[in-house]
Structure 1
Amino acid sequence: MGADDFAVRRIPQTAPRIISADEAWHGEAPYAQDALALDFHGAHDEDFGPRPTRSGMLPEPGPFVARLAQAVVEVVSGQRPAPQLIRHAAPTVYAVLARQAMVAGRRRAPGPQRAAVVRRVRVCEPADGVVEACAVVVAHGRVRALALRLEGLDGRWLVTALTIG
C-alpha cells in the first residue's frame, strides 16, 4: 500500500442543530439524541428567574414565621446547622446567617445549652405575597427582637430581609 491508497475525508457534522426557544416550548423541534442545543437569545427574561406567589397559595404566615424565627435563633446561637435554612433564605440573608452560625459555633461552650424560645410573633401583610413580621425571643437570659420580611417566591416563603436585635 502506498500513500496514494488513502483518501482524506471530511468528518461528518454530528452535533444537533440549534433549536430556537419558541420551537422548544411549542414542541415543534425534532427529537435529538445528543445534548439538546437551545438558543435562548429569543427567550424573554420573564420566562426565567423567580416567580412571585400570591399569599393564598402559601402556608399560613403566623405559624410559619414562628417556626422560622425559632430556627433562625437556633442557627445564630450555633445549636442548628445553617444549611437547614438555605431553602427559606435569600442568598444575601443566608450568607449572614451562615457567618453568624460559624462564629457562634466557635464561641459555644461545651455541654448542654438552654435553647432559645420564641415568646411572641406579630405578622402584618403590607401587600399580597409579602409578610413583615417581628418576634420576641428569650435566649440565655436576654430578651431579643427579630424582624423579618418574607416574600412569596416560587411557591414558598423566602426571607429577603432579616434583623436580629
Structure 2
Amino acid sequence: MRATVATANAASRTSLRPLTIVPAPRIRPPVIAEADDDWTVDERTDSPYVQDALAVDFSLRSDEDLFGEQPTRRDDLPDPRDWAAHIAQALVEVMAGARPAPQLLRWTTPEVYAVVARRAAVSARRGMPPTRRTVVRSLRVCEPADGVAEASAVVVDGGRVRALAMRLVGLDGRWRVEALQVG
C-alpha cells in the first residue's frame, strides 16, 4: 500500500512543469523623446490597434441639453387616451386621499405634484375617509402638437361632479402631466 502511494506522488511530481511568465503584448506604439522634449510616436513599429478621433461638436449644447429630459415624438409614446384615463383616475384618488401622493412623482412635473400633494394633505386633515370612490366618468383627448396631448375629464366625487383638465407632454418615452386644472 505504501509503495503505491509513493509511486503516485513521484509520478505527480514529474508531471508538473514550472510556471512560465510571459509579458503582456503591447497595444500602444512606443514613444520616443526628442531633444526638445516634444513627444512623438515612433512610426517604425506597426501596431495592431488604431483609434481615430470622433468628430463631435459639444460647443452648441449644454449639459442639460445632453443629459436632461429629452422630448419624445408621438410615434414613440403610448396611446394618450388610455394613459390620460389612468393618470386622471390616479390624480383624483390622490386628491381624495385614497392613494399616496408619491406614486405620481414620476408622471408629473414638480409644480403639478406640489398642487396634488397639497390637495391630498388638505383631504387628510379633514380626517374623513372617502365614503365613495372618486370615478372618472368621461374623457376627451386632443393632440395640438407632436408629443403634446390635452385631456379633459368629468369626475364624480361623492355627490359632486367636477371637471379636470391636463396637458400631457412626451418626455423620455413617457407622458408626463405638465399642467393641471381642477374645477
Query: Scaled by the length of structure 1, what TM-score is found?
Result: 0.72
Q: Does 1:95 align with 2:128?
A: no
Query: Structure with the greater relative contact order (CA < 8 A, sep ≥ 6): 1 or 2?
Result: 1
Matches within 5 A, 1:64-83: 64-83=83-102
RMSD of aligned C-alpha atoms? Answer: 2.1
Query: Scaled by the length of structure 2, what TM-score is found?
Result: 0.65
How far apart in 2 are the matches of 1:113 and 1:66?
22
How far apart in 1 are the matches of 2:83 and 2:66?
29
Partner of 2:67: 48
CA contact (8 A) 1:78 1:108 kept: no
Gaps of 5+ in 2: 1-50
How far apart in 2 are the matches of 1:61 and 1:108?
35
What is the CA-CA distance between 1:48 and the residue it aligns to? 2.4
What is the CA-CA distance between 1:42 and the residue it aligns to? 6.1
Query: Matched residues, percent identical?
Result: 59
Runs of 4+ in 1 over 3 A off after TM superposition: none
Partner of 1:137: 155
Cα deviation code 1:12-44 (max 9, x no counterpart): xxxxxxxxxxxxxx9x8xxxxxxxxxxxx9683
1:108 aligned to which of 127, 130, 141: 127
In terms of Rg, which structure is larger? 2
Q: Does 1:119 align with 2:137?
A: yes
